Amino acid sequence: MLRDGTLDGKVALITGGGSGLGLSMAKRFLELGARVALAGRNEERLAGALETLGDLRSRAYAHPCDVRDPAAVEALVRDVADRFDRIDIAVNNAAGNFLAATEDLSPNAFDAVVRIVLHGSFHVSTAVARHMIARGGGGTILNILATYAWTGSAFVIPSAVAKAGVLAMTRSLAVEWAAYGIRTNAIAPGPFPTEGAWSRLLPTPDLERETLENIPLKRFGRHEELAELAAFLVSDAAAYINGECVTIDGGAWMASGGMFNGLASRPRDAVKEFLRSRR
The catalytic residue positions are 148
State the first-to-last Cα distance of the chain, in angstroms, to the nearest integer: 41
244 touches 185 (CB < 8 A) = yes
Contacts of 6 (CB under 8 A, 6+ apart): 32, 33, 231, 235, 236, 237
Between CA 108 and CA 96 the distance in angstroms is 13
The answer to whether residues 5 and 27 touch, using CB atoms and an 8 Å cutoff, is no
- Distance separating alpha carbons of residues 77 and 117, to the nearest angstrom: 18
Give the separation between CA 256 and CA 33, rounded to whole angstroms: 38
Q: What gap in Å lies between CA 181 and CA 140, rounded to an integer?
A: 8
**What is the phi/psi pair of residue 254, to 5°?**
-70, -25
The CB density around residue 64, as the number of other CB atoms within 10 Å, is 17
Residues 146 and 246 sit within 8 Å (Cβ to Cβ): no
CB-CB contact of 201 with 20 (8 Å)? no
Q: Which residue type, as a one-letter code, is found at position 131? A: H
- Cα separation, 228 vs 32, in Å, equals 10
The answer to whether 93 and 141 are in contact (CB under 8 A) is: no
